[in-house]
Structures are given as structure tokens and as C-alpha cells.
């Protein structure tokens, strides 16, 4: 049950250099040093290395791993449950990639059409997975899985032109919104134009628009600091302002 660097390395499938490096940065210290200065690892270290490798597999950098595993509140059990969750997500993403390859093969054989954006499905953690990760939970909680799935489906089926149009609209919204904020009047013409544009944009993603849901989303822009940050980036206070404008536009207060 005692291992030297190379033996533990062979066991875990990492190099001895890696283990020395992990010792150096304080992420995995050997149980003891023998009389000749050799690093000797025991049972506890084996388990710790396993944890480290799980995190590494998930792309966590060693600095973060260090903070996690050296934390006094570190709980191996909950960490494992988290690993499990993340690995399942990763498999989902892998499945998307596989679907992508199959689709691309069909496209190459001329059997189907394929838009540029579709060619990167599964790669784009930030647009699909990351987006889902960041906002997905809350959005799913507030609007239900069905709405979100439908929205994603709709986006997948958008043509390049439609997609470009949503991008253009999103830009126009922030532009008009920034200008409207400077008028200071959420009931004014510019503010109402921004709200209308926002509705148009939204209708690309929702196939059943309702003023209630629109007003609810506007409120979320304020409640959720990540949305707030997005809109406030160009103009501080823009998120709140947009909410007010939409509440007036829809005639609904949340």
C-alpha cells in the first residue's frame, strides 16, 4: 500500500514528473519522505490523487483544484456527486458533437442542408452549454423546461438570415436603449421603441409571445446581476430602465 513516485504514477496513469509537480505546488504531498529522500505515498494520497484527476478531467486548473482540495470544508462525498453531474453534462455535449459529425457527413453527401452555425454545435460551450449553465437553471425554473427546449429548438432551426437578424436586432436594442436611457423617460418614444424591438427579438426565440412572460423576463433582467451587467455595460441603469419601459409597453407590472 506504499508507493514511490513511479509506482503511483503507473497506477494512476500520470508521469512521475507530474507527481513531483503536484508536490511542488502543494496539491498532493507524499505521506512521508524516507531516509533517502524518496517520496512515499499511502492510501490517503491515492484517494486524493483520484479526486485531483477527476477535477483535472473536467478542465479545472490546478490552482482552483488546490483551493478546493485543501479547503478545510472539502467534502469528498459532495465533490463526487458534483463530478458525477458534470461528467453527465460532458457526455451530453459529446453526444452533440457526435450528432454534429453525423450531420456533417450527411451534408457532405448532399443529403441535407447545413448552416454555418450548425457546423459548430457541440463546440460552443459558451453559446449553448455555457449559456445553458449560466442562465439555464434560472430560466428553466421560471419558464419551465418546455419553453426553454422549444426556444433552443427554434434557434437551431433558424436560417442564417434569421440568425443574422436576431444579432442585428440585439445590437439595435442596446443602441436605442442607450439613447433612451439618456432621455430619462421610460414612457417616451425611444424607450417604447426599445421595448418593441425587444419584443421582436424575443419572438425569434419564443413562438408564443405573451405580454405577461415579456414583463416577467424584464423583471429578471433586473433581479439577475448577470443580465443586469450585460445591459448596463453600455449604459449604467439600462437594465432597470428597460424593465420599466417594457412594463409600460406591456401594461403589466410584475
Does residue 116 touch DNA according to CB under 7 A?
no
Does residue 39 touch DNA according to CB under 7 A?
yes
Instruction: Tell me which of a second copy, DNA, none is bound by residue 4, counting a contact when its beta carbon lies within the kind-specific cut-off of 5 to 8 angstroms.
Output: DNA
Give the DSSP per-residue string, the chain.
--B-HHHHHHHHT--HHHHHHHHHTTSS--SEE-TTS-EEB-HHHHHHHHHHHHHHHTT--HHHHHHHHH-TT--HHHHHHHHHHHHHHHHHHHHHHHHHHHHHHHHHTTSS---TGGGGTTT-IIIIIHHIIIIIHHHHHHHHHHHHHHHHHHHHT--HHHHHHHHHHHHHHHHHHHHHHHHT-TTSHHHHHHHHHHHHHHHTT-SS--HHHHHHHHHHHHHSHHHHHHHHTTSTTHHHHHHHHHHHHHT---
Contacting DNA (CB under 7 A), which of 165, 175, 223, 224?
Answer: 175
**Residue 123 or 205: which CB sits closer to a second copy?**
123
**Residue 105 or 112: which CB sits closer to a second copy?**
105
Q: Where in 57-76 is the site for DNA (CB under 7 A)?
A: 61-63
**Residue 64 or 98: which CB sits closer to a second copy?**
98
* 25: nearest Cα among 85, 60, 70: 70
Specify the stretch interacting with DNA by CB under 7 A; choose among 2-10, 79-87, 112-120, 239-247: 2-10
Closest CB 191 distance from a second copy, rounded Å: 28
Contacting DNA (CB under 7 A), which of 15, 126, 159, 183?
Answer: 15
Does residue 198 touch DNA according to CB under 7 A?
no
- Which residue ranges make up the site for a second copy (CB under 8 A)? 1, 11-13, 43, 46-47, 50, 53-54, 57, 76-77, 80-81, 83-84, 87-88, 90-91, 94-95, 97-98, 101-102, 104-105, 108, 116-117, 119-120, 123-127, 160
Residues in contact with DNA by the rule CB under 7 A: 4-7, 14-18, 20-21, 34-39, 56, 61-63, 171, 175, 179, 182, 234
Amino acid at each position: 500500500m506504499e508507493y514511490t513516485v513511479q509506482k503511483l504514477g503507473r497506477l494512476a496513469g500520470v508521469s512521475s514528473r507530474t507527481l513531483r509537480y503536484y508536490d511542488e505546488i502543494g496539491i498532493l504531498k507524499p505521506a512521508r519522505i524516507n531516509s533517502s529522500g524518496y517520496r512515499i505515498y499511502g492510501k490517503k494520497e491515492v484517494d486524493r490523487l483520484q479526486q485531483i484527476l477527476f477535477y483535472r478531467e473536467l478542465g479545472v486548473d490546478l490552482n482552483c483544484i488546490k483551493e478546493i482540495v485543501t479547503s478545510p470544508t472539502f467534502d469528498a462525498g459532495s465533490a463526487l456527486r458534483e463530478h458525477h453531474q458534470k461528467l453527465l453534462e460532458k457526455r451530453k455535449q459529446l453526444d452533440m458533437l457526435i450528432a454534429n459529425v453525423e450531420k456533417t457527413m450527411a451534408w457532405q453527401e448532399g443529403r441535407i442542408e447545413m448552416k454555418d452555425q450548425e457546423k459548430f454545435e457541440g463546440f460552443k460551450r459558451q453559446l449553448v452549454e455555457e449559456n445553458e449553465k449560466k442562465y439555464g437553471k434560472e430560466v428553466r425554473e421560471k419558464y419551465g423546461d418546455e419553453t426553454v427546449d422549444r426556444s433552443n429548438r427554434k434557434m437551431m432551426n433558424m436560417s442564417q438570415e434569421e440568425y443574422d437578424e436576431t444579432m442585428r436586432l440585439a445590437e439595435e436594442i442596446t443602441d436605442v436603449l442607450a439613447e433612451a436611457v439618456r432621455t430619462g423617460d421610460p414612457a417616451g418614444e425611444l424607450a417604447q421603441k426599445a421595448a418593441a424591438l425587444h419584443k421582436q427579438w424575443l419572438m425569434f426565440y419564443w413562438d408564443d409571445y405573451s405580454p405577461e412572460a415579456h414583463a416577467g423576463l424584464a423583471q429578471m433582467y433586473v433581479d439577475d446581476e448577470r443580465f443586469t451587467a450585460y445591459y448596463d455595460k453600455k449604459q449604467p441603469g439600462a437594465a432597470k430602465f428597460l424593465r420599466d419601459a417594457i412594463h409600460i409597453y406591456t401594461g403589466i407590472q410584475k
